[in-house]
Amino acid sequence: MRVALLSIFMLTCLFGCQQKDSQETLPNIIYFIADDLGYGDLSCLGQEKFSTPNIDRLASEGMLFTQHYSGSTVCAPSRSALMTGQHTGHTPIRGNKSVKPEGQWPIADETFTLAELLRQKGYVTGGFGKWGLGGPGTEGDPVLQGFDVFFGYNCQGKAHNYYPRHLWDNLEKVILHENEGTQEGIYGPNLIHEKALEFVETNKERPFFLFYPNVIPHAELFAPEEYMEMFRGKFLPEKEYQGYDEGPKFRDGPYGSQPESHAAFAAMVTLLDDQVGEVMDKITELGLSENTLVIFTSDNGPHLEGGADPDYFNSNGIYTGYKRDLYEGGIRVPTIAWWPGKITANSQTNHLSAFWDVYPTLAELTGQEIHDSVDGISFLPTLLAKEGQQEHEYLYWEFHEKNGRQAIRKGDWKLVRYDVFSPEKTTTELYNIAEDPSETRNVAEENKDIAEDLLRLMDGARTESTVFTFN
């Protein structure tokens, strides 16, 4: 009997030690998403009018992805692709459809999100910033979709304003009295940032997933005064934007006025860079650097709203198009991965990848299987410089605004269709991205066989949605 009890005791200890060792080997994961940051808005990618030293440092110490694409060309479907591992021909949210009184169309309860994937492995999960995948209390609410903690803007429309009336702390509506009337007492992104840092500090002893979808530098173009002072008068002539500064819709979606749009944009990206730097400093301070994977990216290309002037800042770099376009400028996004000792410093990859690849990448990293409906392919071999990296047959996007748009990329070839909802107007454009990354030469007529092959792939790349129809 004593032998049997001793055997049970030893097995229990062994199992417990294995569980502890398994948990200790799980890396922390931090995923930053900037809002509408263009490919050329980082100084490490060519920005010359201001600098982003903290994000640049991630690139110099990590890996720069030169061909990584967002999930979509606008916010909600891009995040849906990330959370589900599905491109916009399959992911449940394919547009920015809003619901009353607050929020966007919700992802369904049965959706198994990236946050749920990581939480089932023992991660504590926190989201800080902008959600956009289901209004407060709906089945798409972040705390009902795998997040233990959420603080920020649930609704994308509310996130248009940087001195908001309220934010959400899980399911609690936090009224910001300091922003009553026209007061500018609390800059929303700063408060959210404080909560993100607290999350890291609180969970330093266990594996955590910090999902940080920052609202910067989306319009409106507002920054705290100490940041405006850095750039005021440096980018003349200024671009003045006349917005919505009073009335019932004030701070309820429409953007406020900004007489110094150039200075404000540079100030906002500088603040974004500082916030990334402060998170990284916290990781270093807590001794977590060698066990933390960090990915930085943007949800789509640069916007043209609220006084923004992407051409002035060359926010697209060499690429054509902006937010809402399916040309490279609308969907190719700056992306950096950092993990000391695991990811080779100052490295680059031209591996073709997209938001829907993050789900299977983190599943493989944490030793988990993925369901058959996932469109993504893990790029973990690329991150760790291992052999066996699989490649996509193609990448696919669809966009339900602007009279319908579609794009597909296979190897170096990319097919773009605009005005899909009006067959008599529909365009078919074919580009060789390797030879013509700026998409200046439509070569569909000279390469009809390739165009037809891509059209056939495009037809089979999607399933119909009862909410976001594409017929």
212 plus 284 within the same structural domain: yes
Burial class of residue 22 in the structure, from the number of CB atoms within 10 Å of its CB (0-12 exposed, 13-18 middle, 19+ buried): middle
- Domain annotation covers residue 382: yes
pLDDT at residue 211, rounded to an integer: 99
Handedness of CA 177, 182, 186, 192 (dihedral sign): positive
- Indicate whether 265 belongs to any domain: yes
225, 92: one domain: yes
Q: How many residues does the chain have?
A: 471
Q: Please check the confidence at residue 93 and state whether its pLDDT lies above 50.
A: yes
Residue after which a domain boundary falls, among 374, 392, 410: 392
**Domain holding 459: CATH number?**
3.30.1120.10
Look up the domain containing 74 and give its range. Answer: 26-392
Note whether 352 and 429 are same-domain residues.
no
- At 113-155, the pLDDT tens digits run 999 999 999 999 999 999 999 999 999 999 999 999 999 999 9
Same domain for 132 and 272, yes or no, is yes
**58 is a domain residue:** yes
Do 288 and 411 fall into the same domain? Answer: no
User: Where among 343, 374, 392 does a domain terminate?
Assistant: 392
The percent of residues in the chain predicted with pLDDT above 70, rounded, is 94
pLDDT in tens, 418-445: 999 999 999 999 999 999 999 999 999 9
Q: What is the structure's pLDDT at 470?
A: 62
Cα three-residue angle 249-254-256, rounded to 5 degrees: 100
Which backbone phi and psi does 237 adopt, to 5 degrees? -75, 145
Helix (H, G, I), strand (E, B) or coil at 380: helix
Residue 1: per-residue pLDDT: 41
- Band (pLDDT 50/70/90 cuts) for residue 409 is very high
Mean pLDDT across the stretch 95-109?
95
To 10 degrees, what angle do helices 75-84 and 358-365 make? Answer: 30
Residue 183 lies in a domain: yes
* Residue written as token pair 């607290």: 198
Residue 11 has pLDDT above 80, yes or no: no
DSSP labels for 319-351? ----TT--SHHHHB--EEEE-TTTSPTTEEE--
Res 25 pLDDT > 50:
yes
CB 119 within 8 A of CB 125: yes
> For residues 245 and 442, what is the distance between their CA atoms, to the nearest angstrom?
44
Given 368, 392, 416, the domain boundary residue is 392
**What's the pLDDT score for residue 22?**
44
Residue (of 39, 84, 63) closest to 327 by Cα position: 39
How far apart (Å, rounded) are the C-alpha atoms in residues 442 and 420? Answer: 18
Domain count, the chain: 2
Q: Is there a single domain that holds both residue 437 and residue 304? A: no
* Terminal alpha carbon distance of the chain: 72
User: Is residue 16 included in any domain, yes or no?
Assistant: no
10 assigned to some structural domain: no
**Does one domain contain both 212 and 319?**
yes
Burial class of residue 283 in the structure, from the number of CB atoms within 10 Å of its CB (0-12 exposed, 13-18 middle, 19+ buried) = buried
Q: In this structure, what CATH number is given to the domain that contains residue 53?
A: 3.40.720.10
pLDDT at 6: 36
49 and 151 both lie in a single domain: yes
Give the per-residue pLDDT at 471. 56
Residue 15 lies in a domain: no
In terms of C-beta density within 10 A (0-12 exposed, 13-18 middle, 19 or more buried), how is residue 87 classed?
buried
**Structural domain contains residue 55:** yes
Regarding whether 398 and 357 lie in a shared domain, the answer is no
Pairing of strands 347-349, 63-65: parallel
Judge if 68 and 174 occupy the same domain: yes
- Same domain flag for 282 and 372: yes
Span 323-351, pLDDT tens digits = 999 999 999 999 999 999 999 999 999 99
